[in-house]
Every structure is written in C-alpha cells, then in structure tokens.
Structure 1
Amino acid sequence: MVLSPHVPELSSLELLTTVAHTGSLGATGRELGLTQQAVSARIRTVERLIGVALLHRGPRGSRLTDAGRLVVDWAAPVLHAAAALDAGIDSLRERRDDHLTIAASYTVAEYLLPGWLVALSTEQAAAGLPRTAVHLAVHNSEQVVTEVLDGRTELGFVEGPDLPAGLAHRVVARDELVVVVPPGHPWTRRPPGPRDLAATPLVAREAGSGTRRAYERAVAPATPAPPAVELSSTSAIRGAVLAGAGPAVLSDLAVHDDLATGRLVAVPVPGLALDRTLSAVWPDGSTPTGPARDLLRIATHGR
C-alpha cells in the first residue's frame, strides 16, 4: 500500500489535534513548547499538503474549519494506532534489553569481563534502568567465533587477529603472552631462544584457543613440539606449571599475581614477539544495540 502524498505526518496530525483540544494556537504552542508563529506556520504547511483550509484565522483568534474538524476526527484512530505501535515497540525493546547473551575466550572472561559487567550494571543503575541479566558462555576463541556466526550469541570476545569472513570486529585490549616456569627451573638461569622454546613440550591450551594460536604464530616457521600436557583452562595450566609439568605460555593478565609473589617466573625469549590483540566480534552487516552496544563501548573505552 502506497499512501497519497497528501497524507500529513503523524507529528502534524498531533499538532492539529492539539489545536482542536486547546482551542488556541497560543495554548497549543505552550503545550508543545513551540511559539504561536511556529504552530501557525506548521498548520499552513499541512493546509498546502492537503489542499484545503483547516483554520479560520481572524482578529479574535483561530478556530478549526469544518474540513479541519473532519481531519481531526479521521486522525484520531490513526494516532491511537500509532500510540499502540509505539507501546508495542517499547515492549519489544524492554524485553530485548532484559537479557544479553555473550561468549568470551577464557582470558577475557576471567580477567576483563567482570570489570566491564560491573561498569555496565553501574551505568544502568545510575540511569534508573533495570539491570540486564547477562548469560556468559566461556569457550576458546574458535568456539566463540562459531557461536557468533551461528547467531547463538549477540557479542563475542576473542584472542588474536585471525577472524573469518562474516564477522565485524573491534579491538578492545592488547595483551602480552609470557613464558612462565616455576622458581629454580633451568630457564631462569639461561633463557631459551625461539627455536629452543619451539622444541620444548609445553603445558598448553587445546587447539583452537587464541593463546595457542598466538604462540604457534610467534615461533613460526618452526613447528612447535607436541604439548607435554594439554589443558582447557588457564587455571589448570598454572597449576600444572607450579607442579613441575613443564613451562607454559600464558597471558600476563593470568599470571600477574603469580609473578608478583614469585610463585612463577617470567622467562624472556630474545627475538620472540608474543603480544596480541583482544577483540569484540559480532555478525558483519549488523550493529550491536542496547546492552550489547553499551558493553562494547565500555570494553573499548573503559567507560
């Protein structure tokens, strides 16, 4: 259905209806925050659009013509329907904003997301908004990407720059990986070179994790030795290193306290670049909205 070009906008119908209720251009202006001249000018625009006079203008004021009263009567159900549509849209937005589904890699989920979620909750409370219930799925980066592409999560957080087609992304943080060993390990006295590191079986994350991919890229073209132990969480890897299972490559976010207290020792590897990016991802062609948009802003800018 294509409407005639003579049909006024809803705002113009609201204006004319207000004139009918107040009986005065001046009173209408005061109610809508407009000057009397602005109200009169907008009525003239509607009159030109429709092609008939809607107001009698005289020295004693203005009043609706018969045509004006008809237009107001016809506009009533239209405005009522528009109000119902507006209320329905608000309801949809409120239900959407009630919850947020996100997925994150282990490093982001354990060491960055808690602060971001607290900031989101604080912002909502300050604005008088209901708190969004957040459902967080924690996976390796490869699985996070799959969930976002499949539409199972609104926003994902991954480690590393390798992203497939179909995703938009934004860098939210930068991270550095460090080689860690327990105190007394031979590498604390004689650090390895990149080839020595690649040839050493490590306590490692599973294939598909951002940490493992970043390490493999850093030691390329060398092929890393098979892991001594393969574990699916950072906490388990830290425990295995402390128990003497072997060295590991972990995020400095994950081992900051261990390094500060001396439980673990960071081993420098000359010539090895182990920095990486942490990114938010969402389906390409879309834009995060509502709480997802707010969380993305907080993660990117820290506010």
Structure 2
Amino acid sequence: MNLNHLAIFHAVARAGSVTAGADQLGVSQSAVSRQLAEFERRQGVALFDRRPRGVVLTGPGQVLLDYAERLFAIRAQAEQALDDLRHRRQGRLAIGASRTIGAYMLPEAFARYTRANPGVELALTVENTETIERQLLDGRIDIGFAEGVADDAALDYTVFAQDELVLIAAPDHALVGTGAIRVEQLCEQTVLMHEEGSGTRAVTEQWLGERGISLRPAMTLASTEALKQTVATGLGVALLSAQAIRMELAAGLLVRLPMDGGPFRRPLYRVLPRASAPSPALEGFLQVIDSSFAQGTRAGNLPGTS
C-alpha cells in the first residue's frame, strides 16, 4: 500500500471533498483525483461515492479510514516526540506512584518541576505497587514510584528515599502507655492492612515473616485514608508510613506506639523499564527527584520529618 496514496485518501476523507483535501495538501484537484483513482484501482474497491457536493465514504472506505487514523496518529506522536527532543522538556510525563509516595511525598517535587518546566504536563496515577509495575511494562507510564519489594527483572529499581513504618492506634487504645510493643503482641490484636498488591503490605509481611510472625489481617482496606479513619475509631492497629500520619499525630487523632526493635525502615524506589532511554522531560524530572530527596536519604529521614 502506497503511503502517499493513503495520505491523500486520509486528507480527502477528513475534508469531505476532493477540492478541500487538495487545498489542505497544497496540490491541484486534478492531481488528487488521479491519485485517488489509482489508489482505488490498486486496492480493487471503491473508497468514495462521488457526489455533486463532495464525497462520501463507502463501506471499505470507512474501514480503511479507521486504520489510516490510527497510522497517522502514531506518525503524529512520533513527530511530537522528536519535537520534544529538539526543544527539551516539552510534552507530557506520565507518572505512577503508590499511595504514600503519590499523596504525601511527590507534590513538592511536582511543584518544583512544573515551575522550571511549565511546558510539560505531569499526569499522576496513584495505584498499588503491583499495578504500577504492570503499567510500566505495558508502557502506560514513563516512571513509577513504589514502596514494595523489588522483584521484576525487567524493571530497574533505584532507591530514592527511606521511609519508616510506624504502628498506630487510637489515643484510647488499650496498648497506649504500655511501653514498647513486642512483635509477638500483634498476633493478639486486631490488625488492619492494605490489600494484597500493596507495597506497604508486602514489606510489612516480609518484615514480620523474618521474625517468624504470620498475621491474618482482621480487615483490608484499599485506601490509606480509610485505614487511618478506621484505626481512629479504636477498632484496631495498623502499620503505616510516618509520612501519611503526620497531621493526625499533630491533631491527636492517632498515636504512635513504640515497637521493640524499632525503628522499622524501608527503602522507597523509583522504577524505570530496564535499558530504556529517558526523554529530556524525564531526565529533568529525575534531577528534581534526586535533588529533592538526596539530603533526606543521606540523613535517614524524609523531607518534612524531624
């Protein structure tokens, strides 16, 4: 199939007439008519019904237009990508982040990046770690941020910060004021957790397993906010990121229970497809992330913690 012929067909189909299509292409009407006739002859089907006031697609023409739209959309994307490279940091950056990172850690970095690169649209999706990894492999996002266990050989995991998981309870919970909580005591408590696939749950279960503890949660919730609110009712306890509970601790809605053998720290990862070449927009974003969290990583703390 001749792509020049296909481009002429596409222009005429979208314009609705040979004359308008020729104007868009900057060629004569007679040349477009000849090229269309040759294209139809080669394909062995009529693509247009010629009418006094324009053209109407036939059934085969409708089918071909659908493919042509997709093909030329891909070409436009390729041209846009090259234009982004020429002008640096233009376009769109799709980011996937686990709940804690997306909600409590990245907003300041987003603000810094957008002020420096106003031409780049940042699109954030907040999902659990398992979903983020799948979206990276499918090409639906450009970079991911995960708080789980790094285990996919097709992805490159780089620690960008450290986090601390803390045991929380309502202020009137029976464990408050009893001293450091032993890990074994959790087996006697109503423990709330994120759903399976959550990075926080994965590292929590790994940490407990290393200490010979296997917990069956009394309740699983897919939202950090729902977990906090449920714990605040006094129903049970949960292990959550210190980043996610700062406001509730300050307001006295939740309390942090000391744990024997703490603190319980975990690495946080920025994740990219292995051997991928980052765009200029992504390179700039990685620089912002590295500079935003470098001091916190070295100190073992995170921005905004003390």
* Same fold? TM cut 0.5: yes
Look up the match of 1:212: 201
Match of 1:155 among 140, 143, 146: 143
In 2, Cα distance between the equivalents of 1:196 and 1:107? 26
Superposition RMSD on alpha carbons, in Å? Answer: 2.4
**Identity over aligned pairs, percent:** 33
Tell me, yes or no, if the aligned pair for 2:88 and 2:281 is still in contact at 8 Å.
no
Match of 2:159 among 155, 158, 171: 171
Look up the match of 2:278: 288
From the superposition, tell whether residues 195 and 103 of structure 1 become closer, same or farther in structure 2 (CA, over 3 Å).
same
Unaligned runs of 5+ in 1: 1-85, 125-129
What is the Cα deviation at residue 245 of structure 1? 2.1
From the superposition, tell whether residues 93 and 209 of structure 1 become closer, same or farther in structure 2 (CA, over 3 Å).
farther
Structural mapping, 1:55-204, within 5 Å: 89-90=82-83, 97-124=90-117, 130-190=118-178, 191-204=180-193
Secondary structure in 1 aligned to 2:160?
strand
Tell me, yes or no, if the aligned pair for 1:178 and 1:267 is still in contact at 8 Å.
yes
Look up the match of 1:266: 256
In 1, Cα distance between the equivalents of 2:132 and 2:84? 30
In 2, Cα distance between the equivalents of 1:227 and 1:259? 23
Tell me, yes or no, if the aligned pair for 2:193 and 2:221 is still in contact at 8 Å.
yes
In 1, Cα distance between the equivalents of 2:262 and 2:102? 26
Structural mapping, 1:222-261, within 5 Å: 222-261=212-251
Secondary structure in 1 aligned to 2:275?
coil
Structure 1 residues 266-275 or 87-96, which shifts more?
A: 87-96
From the superposition, tell whether residues 87 and 137 of structure 1 become closer, same or farther in structure 2 (CA, over 3 Å).
closer
From the superposition, tell whether residues 247 and 293 of structure 1 become closer, same or farther in structure 2 (CA, over 3 Å).
same
In 2, Cα distance between the equivalents of 1:143 and 1:289? 23
What is the Cα deviation at residue 225 of structure 1? 2.6
Structure 1 residues 270-279 or 242-251, which shifts more?
A: 270-279
TM-score for both structures, normalised by structure 2:
0.64
Tell me, yes or no, if the aligned pair for 1:141 and 1:158 is still in contact at 8 Å.
yes
Deviations 1:244-296 (A, max 9, x none): 22101100000012112221111111124521111110110113222222222
Look up the match of 2:36: none
In 1, Cα distance between the equivalents of 2:80 and 2:257? 61
What is the Cα deviation at residue 95 of structure 1? 9.9
Aligned residues: 213
Tell me, yes or no, if the aligned pair for 1:201 and 1:226 is still in contact at 8 Å.
no
Q: Name the amino acid aligned to 1:122.
A: R
Secondary structure in 1 aligned to 2:90?
helix
In 2, Cα distance between the equivalents of 1:87 and 1:271? 53
What is the Cα deviation at residue 205 of structure 1? 0.4
Deviations 1:6-48 (A, max 9, x none): xxxxxxxxxxxxxxxxxxxxxxxxxxxxxxxxxxxxxxxxxxx
In 2, Cα distance between the equivalents of 1:220 and 1:195? 11
Unaligned runs of 5+ in 2: 1-78, 294-306
Deviations 1:150-205 (A, max 9, x none): 21111000003423101112211110000000112121122431111245331110
Secondary structure in 1 aligned to 2:203?
helix
Tell me, yes or no, if the aligned pair for 1:106 and 1:140 is still in contact at 8 Å.
yes
In 1, Cα distance between the equivalents of 2:233 and 2:162? 29
From the superposition, tell whether residues 296 and 95 of structure 1 become closer, same or farther in structure 2 (CA, over 3 Å).
closer
Deviations 1:29-73 (A, max 9, x none): xxxxxxxxxxxxxxxxxxxxxxxxxxxxxxxxxxxxxxxxxxxxx
From the superposition, tell whether residues 250 and 87 of structure 1 become closer, same or farther in structure 2 (CA, over 3 Å).
closer
